[in-house]
Amino acid sequence: MGIATGLMAGYLRHYSGEQLLQLEKSRAASLAQIFENSLWSDFRPLIPLANKPAKLQQAARQAKLRDAVVELMRGTDVIKLKVYALNGLTLFSTDAEQIGEDESDNGGYRSAAANVPASELAHSHSIDAFERTLTERDIISTYVPVHAPDGKVEGVLEVYLDATPFVSSSSRRLMWLTLAICALMGVLFIAQMLVVLHAGRIIARQALALEDANRDLDQRVAERTQALENANQQLEGEISERRRAEDRLDRLAHHDPLTSLPNRLLFHKRLQQALDRPEIGERGLALLYIDLDRFKDVNDTMGHYVGDQLLMAVAARLSAHVRPQDLLARLGGDEFVCVLDQLDSRDTAGIVAEKLLSLFNQPFAVHDNDLYLSASIG
């Protein structure tokens, strides 16, 4: 449960981050379009200077370019902006110290240069914004291609957005959601433990009752044996009674007490007998494992009594549609198994499985309720 909780929390965090990046990528594309429509004509003359560092530094450090960018982005979440040539050289940055840097190895830049916008979320301890230095911020940097009039990529624009408020809010929501999941898992664990403890007490009581029955049977057999010494007729009666008792014990040992189907012990015995027959290679053998879907929901919502009645109804319906030479057994819980003997062909197992699955198309009438149930067969 702890691993499941951790995986869910990790997935939620990843999903939240992906949604944020998609949202901000769309916003950055819109901002880039505004930049392209409003200011790109002022920055296009910098492109031919990509191979002339000295002239580039002089042209790109003009205050009017930075002031124009600051004025355009005023009132938005943009805190920084950079422009790259197609060779990866930084043509312009609101942080003038970065002008002329080579970013050709940057994955985001390469993606945008190929006309595919890219975004990434990172935590920055310190970043120079337009008018001040910001510390301990969550920054989304988005690389967007800038197009020439003919539609070709002419440059790359990198937009830095401050996502700290959103990330902090998402982290708080994720923390509360994780705590809620942990609490739910804890409640489920406690509920399961209570069910297991209750089942253990029932089994212990049944074991004590069986021991009492065995002691009572032993006592009765001893009494009858003594009486048999006095009369042959009495002897025959007592022997018959003992045989019936042994048959009952044998049935209890090899049959499910709820559905009267063979249990796991008898199933293994019959299966081994079928596998040991020399003619199995000629006619073939198939084993169908039948599992009831969402049966636990019936127990949880309607109680174990209705669940037991439903299992009896399922066993009765399956038994009515199984050949006499085949074996239908209940392994426990909502698990049944059917051994098909003497198959006519390899397709017979699939045909029988489809037939058994079709039995679940009709509801089961249990305790004045029509219960719909599905099953899986392997």
Assign 363 to helix, strand or coil: coil
Per-residue pLDDT for 281 more than 70? no
The pLDDT value recorded for residue 290 is 94
Residue 215 lies in a domain: yes
Look at residue 235 and tell me if it is in a domain.
yes
The residues carrying an active-site annotation are 334
DSSP 262: B
Cβ contact 289:329 at 8 Å = no
Does residue 268 form part of some domain? Answer: yes
- Which of 234, 254, 274 terminates a domain? The answer is 254
| Any domain includes 21 | yes
What 8-state DSSP symbol labels residue 368?
Answer: T
Whether residue 370 is predicted with pLDDT greater than 80 in this model: the reply is yes
Please give the backbone phi and psi of residue 139, each rounded to the nearest 5 degrees, phi first: -115, 135
259 within a domain of the structure (yes/no): no
86 and 60, same domain (yes or no): yes
Does this model's pTM top 0.75?
A: no
**pLDDT score of 339:** 92
316 and 211 belong to one structural domain: no
SS3 155: strand
290 and 359, same domain (yes or no): yes
Listing DSSP states for 213-232 in one string gives HHHHHHHHHHHHHHHHTT-H
Number of domains in the chain: 3
Q: Please give the pLDDT value at position 262.
A: 93
| Mean pLDDT, the chain, integer | 83
**pLDDT tier at 330, thresholds 50, 70, 90:** very high
- With beta carbons less than 8 A apart as the criterion, state whether 23 and 142 touch: no
Amino acid in position 376: S
The widest CA-to-CA distance across the chain, in whole angstroms, is 129
From residue 223, give the alpha-carbon distance in Å to each of 88, 213, 220, 226. Answer: 103, 15, 5, 5
Give residue 357's pLDDT: 93
CATH number of the structural domain spanning residue 106 = 3.30.450.20
**Which has the higher per-residue pLDDT, 187 or 59?**
187
pLDDT digits (tens, 9 = 90+) for 35-91: 777 777 778 888 888 777 777 777 777 777 877 887 777 777 787 888 888 888 888
Does 167 reside within a domain? no
Domain assignment of residue 237, given as a range? 172-254
**Nearest alpha-carbon partner for 248 in 210, 199, 206, 203:** 210
Both tokens assigned to 172: 């708080």
